[in-house]
Amino acid sequence: MSKPTSDGAPSPTLGGTMEEHDLAAAPAGAELTAPVQRTMADSVPKGRSEQFGGWLRLIRGRGALEIGIIFVLVQIGCVVAYLMAPDSFPYLSGANFNVLSQSIPVLAILAIGAGVLMIAGEFDLSLGMNFTLCALVFIHWYSDGNVLGAFVVTFAMGIGIALLNGVIVTRFKIPSFIVTLGMMLFWDGAALFYNGSSAARMQRGETLQTIFAGQVGPFRGQVVWLVLVAVFFWVLMHRHKLGNHIFAVGGNESAARAISINPTRIKLIAFGILGLCVALASILVAVRTQSVQPGTGRGMELQAIAAAVVGGVSLRGGKGSVLGMVLGAALILVLQDILLLSGAPGFYLNLFIGAIIVFAAVFNRLIEGKAE
């Protein structure tokens, strides 16, 4: 698998002559500057195709290649089915675009939050209830006429609840699974206490609806928000040093500590990112539906985590990609959409989604196993 160097000659593999040379020279302590065989430096790709190859390997390493291929195949299948029978399978119709571009961004943003936290090595099962509470708080504050306050309090709420989980998990070194399971029930009760069991309705929400959920070409405005969030977190996770540290803490916590990265700080930041995503997603939903019930977010946490897993995020932390999380969310909802369009009865939805999640988890495990 030796790659050609820039001038086209096959590069010699490392070691070999050089290793023998060093073995002979180094113990004598005399030859400190051994003649260097520059193999690695020439391996930095120069051509466009080499860069593309490197990029493919990179997203494969992050677990996003397989999901990407599956996603593209599903899309091709849908388009072909639509072209063959546009009336019975209206996949490319405006109405269908509308539905997908409303639902995908919310789940994808939640999946990014859950996925970033999973890369850091933790879970948050209370994100669905956090989501509900944020949406309720937003509707109440907004309907009372306090627009700025509604945004500030919602974001503070989302981030605060997630950070509280983070503090308990890191301070007492308890698995986040059990902490956030308890918190899920707690905030479920808190949402009912705060709002009562009836739906909260939004007053004077039309302006916001144009901003957050207006029509942008064939899509809804939520797509723009998803693109902004996804690009921001892609840069943060894959290009910024903070992202590098989040991967390090999830991938090998003691290694991160040994190179003086503070795992507690990084995990708290990851919990905070989840809170931010939850608050934003809750505002998108509250604005679109104009009415939120206390039970809205139940099960949302599992869907978000499932989307992240389908997108190649490792359950053991340290591995994943923002692209994968978005594709994972999109794939789950597109498959749901396919079932709906083809008129499958409601109970098929969960049945299929459940099967997909298990399949994705097994699939990722097999890939991880191979990598080790």
Whether the Cβ atoms of residue 217 and residue 97 lie closer than 8 Å to each other:
no
Q: For residue 311, state whether it binds other proteins (rule: CB under 8 A).
A: no
Instruction: Return the range that interacts with other proteins (CB under 8 A); candidates 53-61, 175-183, 197-205, 345-353.
Output: 53-61
Beta carbon nearer to other proteins, 32 or 95: 32
Q: Contact region for other proteins (CB under 8 A) — 77-85, 181-189, 246-254, 339-347?
A: 246-254
Cβ closer to other proteins: 288 or 319?
319
Q: How many Cα atoms sit within 13 Å of 330 on the Cβ side?
A: 20
The closest of 300, 360, 298, 364 to 331, measured between CA atoms, is 360
Residue 3 lies near other proteins (rule: CB under 8 A): yes
Q: What is the closest distance, in whole angstroms, from the C-beta atom of residue 39 to other proteins in the complex?
A: 6
How many residues are there in the chain? Answer: 372
> How many binding residues for other proteins (CB under 8 A)?
54
Q: Which residue shows structure tokens 């290009």? A: 239
Pick from 99, 156, 192, 261: which binds other proteins (CB under 8 A)? 261
The Cα–Cα gap between 270 and 113 comes to 8
User: The tokens of 19 are what?
Assistant: 């290793």
Sequential DSSP letters for 309-346:
HHTT--TTSS---HHHHHHHHHHHHHHHHHHHHTT--T
Compute the distance between CA of residue 30 and CA of residue 370 in angstroms, rounded to an integer.
43
Partners of 59 in the β-ladder = none
Under the criterion CB under 8 A, does residue 13 sit at the interface with other proteins? yes
Q: Is 38 in the site for other proteins (CB under 8 A)?
A: yes
- Answer for which of 26, 211, 228, 351 binds other proteins (CB under 8 A) is 26
Q: Between residues 204 and 240, which has the closer beta carbon with respect to other proteins?
A: 240
List interacting residues with other proteins (CB under 8 A).
Answer: 1-3, 13-16, 18-19, 22-23, 26-30, 32, 36-41, 43-44, 54, 57-58, 61-62, 235, 239-242, 244-245, 247-248, 251-252, 254-261, 314, 318-319, 371-372
